[in-house]
Amino acid sequence: MTRSSLLNALMLTPLIGATYSWKTALGVWLMFVAANSAFGLAMAGLRGRLVPASHLLAAVLLAATLTSCLQLAMQAWALQWHQQLGLYSGLIALQCVVLEHSGFHQRPWRERLLQGAVFGLLMVGLGVLRELLGESGLRLATLAPGGFILLGLLVAAWQAWARPTSSN
Amino acid sequence: MNRTASFATLALLAALGTGITWLVQQAAAPRIAEQQRVLDSRHLLDVLAPGSYDNQPLQQPLRLADVQLDHSTLLGGYRAMRSGRVTALLLRSQTLGYAGSIDLMIAINPDGRLLGVKALKHSETPGLGAHIADWPQGWLQVFAGRSRADPADTGWALKKDQGQFDQIAGATITSRAAINAVHDALSYFDEHRQVLIGVDGQ
């Protein structure tokens, strides 16, 4: 598996698994942003002090620490919300490491901000859409297969809009 | 950059990471336990009106005798009290539904009238019998205010069984199990009222 497809698979997991309600989606995204911001800052300070071979190990240690602390903090302040996130909050550590591995944290901050915002918009948007559809009687929308179908439709709509067919 | 410095940084990072996580865990543990307790008791007790008790009913379970009833088994009993007076009695009842056992929390006021019923656990068919676990559950609310003698024994059944009550659509067995369990609990309360309410309860 190439780096980018590993990254895509890791982003897709919460995008489908944690968007059955907008609240869960928002929770995962907020934790994602908090963990990745702290992770990016700390790694920027660490990179100069480490030989390249130990970058990965440092990233794992850092991501595990940050995610554990965030999880504990969220449990202490909003236990019910944290329980809704389920295993997706733990997955954020892996996302940090893979994002670091793919060079995400060394890109210009504007680009990172934009991508983080797009990810959040997609998460919460999909969450709202699935919840609305689920409440209006389409129970499939709240299940994982419904999430896939909806995401597929969104991607198709995006492509149709972004690349208008050239007349020939 | 040398390998020793790099290794030292890594070791420091590992030690700091472990230490900080441990400290955060120590600091958060009591809060998490408290939140968990509140969540648990809310899950079990939201069949009662929020201001109707000031004790912690789950902390003082009652010792129940003869818990094997006609259609159900009582798993526990709790007293909800306000200012030292019993305001409600909670019976946790287990009965057999369509796909497995159903646990109900049944709240009865000291006069023997039903305050509310909530399904705590079940494995009924999703979309049909599983509606019993919706909260608030409209169908279970029709039992509020009823007692063992209201309606009479024959009325405590589904209309399909010549009784008085409607059923959850498409879930006859689930509905029948719930009705019987509620009636069982009300009868049990009537027969054991003195013990359940307690001498000092009134």
Q: Which of B142, B51, B134, B141 is nearest to B88 (CA)?
A: B51
Find the closest chain B residue to A43 by CA distance: B13
Using the CB atoms, write b or e for A4-26: b if 16+ within 10 Å: eeebeebbebbbbbbbbbbbbbb
CA torsion sign, B116 to B121 to B122 to B127? positive
User: Does residue A2 carry a pLDDT above 70?
Assistant: no
- Helix, strand, coil percentages for chain B (3-state, nearest 5): 45, 25, 30
Q: What's the rounded Cα separation, in Å, for the pair B184 and B98?
A: 18
- For the stretch B43-52, pLDDT in tens is 888 888 888 8
Kindly state the average pLDDT of the residues B82-107: 93
CA separation for the pair A133, B72 (Å, rounded): 39
Asked if B21's CB is within 8 angstroms of A68's CB, the reply is yes
Among chain B residues, CA nearest to A46: B9
What digits encode the pLDDT tens for the residues B153-184?
888 999 999 999 999 988 999 999 999 999 99
Contact A68, B24 (CB under 8 A): yes
pLDDT of residue B199: 60
The stretch B39-46 carries a mean pLDDT of: 86
What value of ipTM does the predicted structure carry? 0.82
Structure confidence at residue A29 as a pLDDT band (50, 70, 90):
very high
Confidence of residue B125 (pLDDT cuts 50, 70, 90): confident
State which residue of chain B sits closest to A50, comparing Cα positions.
Answer: B6
Closest residue in chain A to residue B7, using alpha carbons only: A50
CA angle B143, B147, B152 (to 5 degrees): 100
Give dist(CA A21, CA B188) in Å, integer.
42
Please answer yes or no on whether A49 and B31 come within 8 Å at the CB atom: no
Contact with chain B for residue A160, Cβ under 8 A:
no
Indicate whether B202 pLDDT > 50.
no
Judged by CB atoms closer than 8 Å, whether chains meet at B13 and A61 is answered as: yes
Given B7, B17, B35, which is nearest A61 (Cβ)?
B17
CB-based contact A58 B13, cutoff 8 Å: yes
Return the structure tokens found at A22: 């907008």
- Average pLDDT over chain B reads 90
Residues from chain B contacting residue A61 (CB–CB below 8 Å): 10, 13-14, 17
Across the interface, whether the CB atoms of B28 and A75 are under 8 A apart is answered yes
- By Cβ distance, the residue of B1, B18, B35 closest to A79 is B35
Q: What is the pTM of this model?
A: 0.74
Pick the residue of B24, B36, B41 with the most A CBs within 10 A to test the interface with A by mutation.
B24
Chain A residues with CB-CB distance to B21 below 8 A: 64-65, 68-69, 72
**CB atoms closer than 10 angstroms to residue A109:** 9
Residues from chain A contacting residue B14 (CB–CB below 8 Å): 61
Closest CA to A41 of A94, A106, A93: A106
List Cβ neighbours of A129 (8 Å cut-off, separation of 6 or more): A141, A150
CB-CB under 8 Å, B13 with A62: yes
Contact B24 A79 (CB under 8 A): no
Interface touch A79/B36, C-beta < 8 Å: yes
A139 to chain B: which residues are within 8 Å by CB?
127
- Does A167 score more than 60 pLDDT? no
pLDDT exceeds 80 at position A150? yes
